[in-house]
Amino acid sequence: MTEEKRIKIAEDNLGRLLDWISRIDSKSSVILGVSTAMLGILAGLAPPPRLWTVRTEIVGLLGFLGPSLSLLSVYLVNYPRTKGPSTSLNFFGGIAKNTFREYTKAFMSISSADYLSDVLEQCHRNAEIVSRKFSALKWSYRSLLIGAVPWIVCLYYFRTLGGSC
């Protein structure tokens, strides 16, 4: 396979990885909205503090836990991961460390083998990022699903104590 063909394949792979990051971020925004709404409804239905008992605290905590863990996971999905090679001509952090003239000079003088290596390094780094984001996204879904039952029980319990939204 020619080096030109390898570069094309590596660039296509990098593009796919960047698309995955975008897709994960889109999915997490839906979960962010659902989790926030669930917590808002709980807060709106919570009875006045004078009516709280130990049982109310336990039920409230259990109802609060799922959506809260889901929000924490969404935070981990969306937390910017900007660690990358400082000498890369493809990574924004590496590019920004140079002046425009330094970047242009470095880009114009890079060999195709070095460029391919840079793209492959970006593929590897972005694959690590996608893997972490997917893991956090799965935990967010799990927290939401597992927390739905205690949340519904909490809503009912708060409602019977006279909470109103």
Tell me the pTM: 0.81
Structure tokens at 41: 């409804």
Distance (Å, whole) CA 45 – CA 132: 35
Ordered by start, the domain boundaries in the chain are 23-160
Which pLDDT score is estimated for 132?
A: 94
- 41 pLDDT band, cuts 50/70/90, is very high
Q: Lowest-confidence range among 30-34, 42-46, 80-84, 87-91?
A: 80-84
Summarize the confidence of residues 6-22 as an average pLDDT: 95
pLDDT of residue 145: 95
pLDDT at 165 over 60: no
Helix H or strand E segment including 49: none
- pLDDT at residue number 21: 93
**Which tokens in the block code for residue 15?**
């593009």
The predicted-structure confidence for 80-113, as pLDDT tens digits, reads as follows 887 877 788 888 888 888 899 999 999 999 999 9
Q: What percent of the chain has pLDDT over 70?
A: 98
